[in-house]
């Protein structure tokens, strides 16, 4: 009999459905934890503020939380347990092990992205090396949709809908105000993957509709091609809608937020975070949307030769918590992933992350599988190149086919002329 307590935590940035996964784990532990013939779960704890809070003994007992509150997590945005971005160091492992022993934790669940899966993987391996039996299972989470081995991640669909709706509505504004502002730049989060910028393409119904240009991190930014396409679009429609990922870079790997109005590098700041990722917002306070705004302002001309003006929109973390735009499918899939993690742990599975494999687009169905934690921790899932058009400035029909079942129907806005 494998018996003990369970603990669940959340790491990194939130999604609008990460708490639904938390709900799935907690409810799964309570509902299944005493039914398995070979494995039992006694108590269910929560880490306040992730692994960092766990080491500081910040623990919540879900046995003291009302069932209706746990159920309410399904539709609550943010990270209800609190989050952290702590990279586990070698000196942390003895502290973590002592905490696991203190609370007799034998089932260990974390919801997060690549770095979170790395944390579970390393903690589980350390415990094994110390002769402590621990079953660790990861629950996928990221709005970037860049986790290896899963068709998509809980949280992406709702964030994609947020982007598509925002670009569609901003496109109506840009079209109607084109005599005043001739372009708009909409920046999404997504350091290395262009899934969220790509989702903006769902906003387009007619050729005139936004967006006109999509810039994804998978393809090197080309200043001349970008400006030429923007000028061509301005001449044709009278305005330009651009959607960009925050991490787009040129062929030399320079982030676009470091470029001037003519595509030349002007900033040298290479600040990195705890995980070695370049801090994109540390470029002297600039963002890629600001840089693109300057490029368009300085290089585009109206047909009469006059200069143009425009605006930029940076939503930053809003797609991570936009509960009003969450899809029902995303909520349910997030819960399913949490529940499946418990089923796997009770069955003796450890060292894996729950994945979703798409079985069909019409009707849309997925199956729940697994991937090794050590593979997910080191690999990312960029958009396939066949999802990006031959000009490297938009997406293909194959990309739209992938996105539509996740985002759902968008509103149809009328126009007078």
Q: How many CA atoms lie within 13 A of 406 on its CB side?
A: 32
CA distance linking residue 38 with residue 268, whole number of Å: 58
Our answer to whether residue 151 is catalytic in this structure is no
The active-site residue out of 92, 144, 151, 330 is 144
List active site positions. Answer: 144
């Amino acid at each position: 009999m494998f018996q003990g307590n369970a603990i669940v935590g959340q790491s990194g940035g939130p999604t609008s459905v990460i708490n639904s996964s938390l709900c799935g784990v907690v409810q799964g532990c309570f509902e299944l934890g005493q039914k398995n013939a070979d494995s039992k779960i006694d108590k269910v704890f929560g880490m306040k503020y992730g692994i960092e809070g766990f080491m500081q003994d910040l623990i919540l007992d879900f046995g003291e939380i009302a069932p209706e509150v746990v159920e309410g997590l399904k539709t609550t945005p943010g990270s209800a347990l609190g989050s952290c971005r702590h990279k586990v160091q070698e000196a942390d492992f003895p502290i973590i092990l002592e905490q696991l022993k203190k609370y007799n934790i034998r089932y260990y669940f974390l919801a997060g992205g690549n770095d979170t899966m790395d944390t579970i993987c390393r903690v589980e391996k350390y415990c094994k090396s110390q002769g402590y039996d621990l079953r660790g299972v990861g629950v996928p989470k990221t709005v970037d949709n860049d986790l290896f081995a899963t068709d998509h991640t809980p949280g992406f669909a709702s964030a994609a809908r947020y982007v598509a709706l925002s670009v569609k509505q901003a496109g109506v504004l840009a079209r109607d105000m084109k005599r005043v502002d001739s372009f708009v730049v909409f920046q999404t989060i997504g350091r290395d993957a262009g899934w969220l910028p790509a989702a903006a393409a769902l906003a387009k119904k007619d050729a005139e509709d936004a967006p006109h240009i999509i810039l994804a991190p998978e393809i090197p930014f080309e200043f001349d091609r970008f400006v030429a396409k923007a000028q061509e679009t301005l001449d044709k429609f009278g305005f330009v809608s651009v959607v960009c990922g925050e991490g787009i870079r040129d062929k030399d790997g320079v982030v676009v937020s470091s470029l001037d109005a003519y595509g030349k590098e002007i900033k040298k700041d290479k600040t990195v975070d705890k995980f070695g990722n370049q801090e994109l917002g540390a470029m002297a306070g600039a963002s890629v949307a600001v840089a693109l705004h300057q490029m368009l302002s300085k290089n585009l001309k109206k047909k009469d030769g006059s200069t143009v003006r425009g605006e930029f929109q940076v939503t930053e973390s809003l797609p991570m918590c936009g509960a009003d735009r969450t899809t029902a499918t995303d909520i349910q899939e997030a819960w399913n992933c949490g529940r499946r993690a418990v089923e796997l742990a009770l069955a003796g599975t450890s060292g894996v992350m729950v994945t979703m494999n798409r079985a069909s687009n019409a009707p849309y169905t997925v199956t729940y599988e697994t991937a090794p934690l050590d593979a997910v921790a080191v690999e990312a899932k960029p958009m396939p190149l066949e999802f990006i058009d031959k000009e490297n400035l938009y997406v293909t029909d194959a990309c739209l086919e992938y996105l539509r079942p996740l985002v759902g129907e968008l509103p149809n806005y009328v126009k007078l002329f």
